[in-house]
């Protein structure tokens, strides 16, 4: 308490509370308490059971039926895959589910570059699961009764209430910077194209570890659009169910609910629910891995190693920096139980490599750098400058001020405001240390590699090593979550001696953390309540206000599905929503970034850049770009649509005219430069009403339409010319005695040209 009071008095953290958002949050929390309490009283049912039912019903309302069914499908597939590894529904079901999701993510990762009927494959897999599910009816019923028994405990209401409050940020549209610039791209490309483009020239992060986004891709394919919020709720429930189980297995009874209350109130988790950052699934997987190392199921060492390897691989498949957590855990296991660890290795090592390896393997094959865009000073991939990428904003080095700054000056350590690191680690430091010292299992496992104390020490060491490299708060979230277990154990011990004090401290910490939830993100400071139900107009209006580029990209692709859209504002590289049809002038695209820098003060330079890149449309926010860009747009583009402060422009590209056109005879279009080219053709002439008009090229590709009743033909078509040869076209259906005119224009498709740099085996597979 002294530390907290001293810190609050010596900082301005109290002045940063956003009281309007806090009032909204508390009002929603009051309703979430009142409704199940009143309904439970009227129906004569447990209010916790009623709350659980309300939360389940809210998922399709807030996220839509498609995403809800998609996540349910992933849930069933994950359970089945977990059972194939020896983990039955009744044998550590949470770990079984986490292992199954990890295997699904690994499968998606290896299939990403290959065009496949993904929806058909998923539906077939689900159909095959139903027979197994029917056989598991007794086990499912027993698990359901056990869940109901847990929900009927009085101590279960408030943890479920707090976890249920996480429904709020999860229901907000995806407008976080990293989602719009990168994370959403993979799921949307899988849903739209059936494969991921893996174009590291246009987005340097496209080959980075992708396990979390790959799993989101499966859900998007099943739902027909992004299912980010519903998938995050699955991870959120897995996380806190895992923490509950981990704490429940410890020696002190009655502390499991406290671990959920302490951990779920941390503001950082609320920000993670609103996006696709890796720390939310990483926390759930790390909890499962620690639980497995402490208390594995009795499956034999080879099978135990297989499960441990899958979980380890999932962590590394989410982010390479998770080596900082995995390494100390394995080192501690090697020191504590070397023989048991050796017995695990024959299956654990291959499982880790298979589950984690897809992104690193494809990155190495495509670019030569397995961890692109990191450490390119060592690997020298051509997609990036030969230098090591490093965010110097968070690399000031460790000093004693960090012990104060993490809590009272949090904005130094991530993109937010102060007070979001979790006040329990300041106020309840004593119970935390006591719980750490006494963390042990009620029934020690014969196959255990670690005990809780050693696991926590190893994770803290890993967190310290990671923080020493980069002082970034979000990366520590998985370890902070697990620290809620010893903290709850310490509170449990205190409650045996002074129950009122323990309850008061717990309630105070939860409320204090909730006060700072809006500080964790500029999005939550703008809105903390969902704008409406799934797909509602209010939600779309809010999303357009926060990121108008999403709406304008959709508008450009509606005009031309093959458009090449340039995001002209360097600080807003919101490429992800385009399904691979957008480019940016930010550092995410080094080639265009350098070209845009050269044009910064020259309005005549921009049209040449647009022509080289084959830009058909450009999105620009007023006042953000250089004045030369505004001048170039005024002279060489026309505005098509305005959304908030952003405008969609169509780049002027003159039509070439060829006349007369002789029907049924071929004419030639000579294209300058190297392919690929997208050629737009317009033929005007007279035709016989009701007859068929067609345009064909030398390869026999045919585009056809009927002649209108006016007899006036206006045939439009678009060709992709990938060969370095002239395009030869011929028209049929035109009247021979009438004049006909050909209009055409062409633009170089830089996005397709960059795909030509992919390995030949991958290009051939996509053909």
CA 134 vs. chain centroid, Å, equals 33
Residue burial 271-286, b: 16+ Cβ < 10 Å; e: rest = bbbbbbbbbbbbbbbb
Instruction: State both tokens at 358.
Output: 């897809």
Please give the share of the chain, as a percent, with pLDDT higher than 90. 67
Residue with more model confidence, 722 or 37: 37
The band of 105, judged by pLDDT with boundaries at 50, 70 and 90, is very high
Which pLDDT score, from 0 to 100, does residue 139 have?
86
The band of 252, judged by pLDDT with boundaries at 50, 70 and 90, is low
CA 554 vs. chain centroid, Å, equals 20
Residues 258-315: pLDDT tens digits? 999 999 999 999 999 999 999 999 999 999 999 999 989 888 899 999 999 999 999 9
The band of 349, judged by pLDDT with boundaries at 50, 70 and 90, is very high
The band of 737, judged by pLDDT with boundaries at 50, 70 and 90, is low
Contact 214, 74 (CB under 8 A): no
Average pLDDT, the chain: 90
First to last CA, the chain: 66
Lowest mean pLDDT among 147-161, 291-305, 487-501, 752-766: 752-766
Q: How far apart are CA 166 and CA 186, in angstroms?
A: 25
The band of 720, judged by pLDDT with boundaries at 50, 70 and 90, is confident
Which pLDDT score, from 0 to 100, does residue 168 have?
94
Asked whether the CA dihedral 211, 213, 216, 218 is positive or negative, the reply is: negative
Residue with more model confidence, 677 or 154: 677
Q: What is the DSSP letter of 182?
A: I
Which pLDDT score, from 0 to 100, does residue 242 have?
95
**Reading across the β-sheet that carries 741-748, which strands appear in turn?**
656-658, 741-748, 677-686, 712-721
All structural domains of the chain, each given as residue ranges with its CATH number in brackets, are 2-163+174-526 (no CATH), 547-651 (no CATH), 656-766 (2.60.120)
Contact 173, 542 (CB under 8 A): yes
Beta bridge partners, 727, equal 669
Output phi, psi for 72, to 5 deg. Answer: -60, -40
Residues 743-752: pLDDT tens digits? 888 999 999 9
Lowest mean pLDDT among 128-132, 181-185, 206-210, 240-244: 128-132
The band of 664, judged by pLDDT with boundaries at 50, 70 and 90, is low
Q: What is the mean pLDDT of residues 159-173?
A: 95
Residue with more model confidence, 147 or 548: 548
* pLDDT surpasses 70 at 251: no
* pLDDT surpasses 70 at 18: yes
What is this structure's pTM? 0.95
Residue with more model confidence, 615 or 531: 615
Which pLDDT score, from 0 to 100, does residue 692 have?
73
Residues 32-78: pLDDT tens digits? 999 999 999 999 889 999 999 999 999 999 999 999 999 999 999 99
Lowest mean pLDDT among 302-306, 448-452, 696-700, 745-749: 696-700
Which pLDDT score, from 0 to 100, does residue 391 have?
78
Which pLDDT score, from 0 to 100, does residue 714 have?
64
Give the count of alpha carbons within 13 A of 387, CB side only. 5
Which pLDDT score, from 0 to 100, does residue 253 have?
62
* pLDDT surpasses 80 at 90: no
* pLDDT surpasses 90 at 741: no
Bridging pattern class, strands 741-748 and 677-686: antiparallel
DSSP string, 222-258: HHSS--HHHHHHHHHHHHHHHHHHHHHTBSSTT-HHH
Which pLDDT score, from 0 to 100, does residue 731 have?
74
Helices (H), 391-476: 401-408, 424-427, 429-437, 452-469
Which pLDDT score, from 0 to 100, does residue 713 have?
66
Q: How far apart are CA 498 and CA 431, in angstroms?
A: 13
Q: How far apart are CA 47 and CA 39, in angstroms?
A: 7
Asked whether the CA dihedral 583, 589, 591, 595 is positive or negative, the reply is: positive
Place of tokens 């009247």: 735
Which pLDDT score, from 0 to 100, does residue 11 have?
85
Alpha-carbon distances, residue 318 vs 210, 211, 276, 311, 566 (angstroms): 6, 5, 11, 11, 29
The burial class, CB within 10 Å (0-12 / 13-18 / 19+), for 738 is middle
Which pLDDT score, from 0 to 100, does residue 444 have?
64
Instruction: State both tokens at 290.
Output: 């620690």
């Amino acid at each position: 308490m002294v530390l907290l009071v001293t810190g609050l008095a010596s900082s301005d953290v109290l002045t940063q509370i956003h009281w309007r958002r806090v009032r909204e949050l508390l009002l929603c929390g009051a309703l979430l308490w009142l409704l199940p309490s009143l309904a439970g009283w009227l129906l004569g049912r447990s209010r916790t059971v009623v709350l659980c039912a309300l939360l389940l019903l809210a998922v399709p309302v807030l996220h839509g039926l498609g995403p809800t069914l998609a996540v349910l499908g992933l849930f069933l597939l994950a359970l089945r895959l977990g059972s194939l590894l020896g983990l039955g529904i009744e044998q550590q079901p949470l770990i079984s589910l986490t292992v199954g999701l990890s295997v699904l993510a690994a499968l998606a990762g290896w299939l990403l570059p290959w065009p496949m009927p993904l929806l058909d494959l998923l539906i077939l897999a689900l159909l095959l699961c139903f027979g197994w599910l029917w056989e598991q009816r007794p086990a499912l019923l027993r698990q359901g009764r056990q869940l109901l028994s847990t929900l009927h405990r009085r101590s279960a209401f408030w943890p479920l209430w707090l976890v249920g409050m996480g429904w709020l940020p999860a229901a907000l549209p995806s407008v976080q910077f990293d989602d719009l610039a990168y994370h959403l791209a993979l799921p949307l490309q899988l849903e739209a194209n059936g494969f991921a483009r893996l174009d590291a020239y246009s987005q340097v992060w496209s080959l980075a570890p992708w396990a979390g986004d790959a799993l989101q891709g499966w859900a998007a394919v099943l739902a027909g659009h992004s299912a980010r919020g519903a998938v995050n709720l699955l991870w959120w429930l897995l996380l806190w169910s895992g923490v509950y189980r981990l704490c429940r297995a410890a020696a002190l009874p009655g502390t499991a609910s406290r671990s959920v209350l302490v951990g779920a109130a941390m503001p950082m988790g609320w920000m993670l629910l609103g996006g696709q950052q890796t720390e939310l699934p990483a926390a759930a997987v790390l909890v499962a891995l620690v639980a497995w190392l402490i208390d594995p199921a009795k499956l034999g060492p080879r099978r135990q190693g297989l499960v441990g390897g899958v979980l380890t691989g999932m962590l590394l498949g989410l982010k390479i920096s998770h080596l900082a957590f995995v390494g100390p855990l394995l080192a501690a296991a090697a020191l504590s139980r070397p023989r048991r660890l050796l017995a695990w290795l024959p299956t654990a090592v291959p499982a880790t490599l298979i589950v984690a390896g897809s992104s690193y393997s494809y990155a190495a094959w495509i670019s030569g750098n397995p961890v692109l865009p990191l450490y390119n000073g060592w690997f020298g991939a051509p997609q990036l400058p030969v230098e090591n990428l490093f965010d110097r904003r968070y690399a000031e080095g460790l000093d004693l001020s960090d012990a104060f700054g993490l809590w009272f000056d949090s904005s130094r350590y991530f993109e937010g405001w102060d007070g979001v690191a979790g006040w329990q680690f300041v106020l309840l430091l004593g119970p935390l240390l006591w719980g750490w010292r006494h963390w042990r299992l009620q029934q020690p496992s014969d196959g255990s590699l670690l005990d809780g104390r050693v696991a926590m020490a190893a994770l803290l060491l890993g967190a310290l090593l990671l923080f020493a490299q980069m002082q970034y708060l979000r990366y520590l979230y998985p370890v902070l979550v697990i620290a809620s277990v010893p903290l709850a154990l310490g509170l449990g011990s205190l409650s045996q001696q002074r129950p009122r004090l323990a309850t008061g401290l717990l309630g105070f910490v939860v409320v204090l953390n909730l006060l700072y939830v809006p500080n964790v993100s500029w999005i939550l400071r703008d809105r903390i309540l969902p704008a409406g139900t799934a797909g509602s107009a209010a939600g779309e209006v809010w999303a357009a206000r926060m990121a108008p580029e999403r709406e304008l990209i959709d508008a450009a692709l509606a005009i031309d599905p093959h458009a090449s859209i340039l995001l002209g504002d360097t600080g807003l590289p919101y490429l992800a929503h385009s399904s691979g049809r957008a480019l940016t002038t930010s550092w995410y695209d080094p080639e265009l970034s350098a070209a845009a820098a050269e044009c910064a003060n020259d309005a005549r330079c921009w049209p040449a850049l647009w022509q080289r890149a084959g830009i058909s449309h450009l999105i620009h926010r007023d006042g953000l770009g250089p004045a030369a860009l505004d001048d170039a747009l005024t002279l060489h583009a026309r505005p098509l649509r305005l959304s908030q402060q952003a405008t969609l422009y169509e780049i002027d590209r003159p039509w070439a005219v060829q006349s007369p056109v002789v029907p049924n005879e071929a004419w030639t279009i000579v294209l300058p430069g190297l392919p690929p080219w997208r050629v737009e053709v317009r033929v005007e002439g007279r035709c016989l009403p009701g007859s068929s008009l067609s345009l064909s090229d030398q390869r026999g590709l045919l585009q056809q339409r009927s002649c209108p009743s006016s007899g006036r033909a206006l045939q439009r078509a678009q060709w992709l010319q990938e060969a370095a040869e002239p395009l030869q076209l011929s028209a049929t259906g035109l009247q021979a005695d009438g004049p006909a005119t050909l209009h055409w224009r062409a633009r170089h498709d830089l996005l397709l040209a960059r795909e030509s740099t992919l390995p030949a085996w991958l290009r051939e597979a996509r053909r």
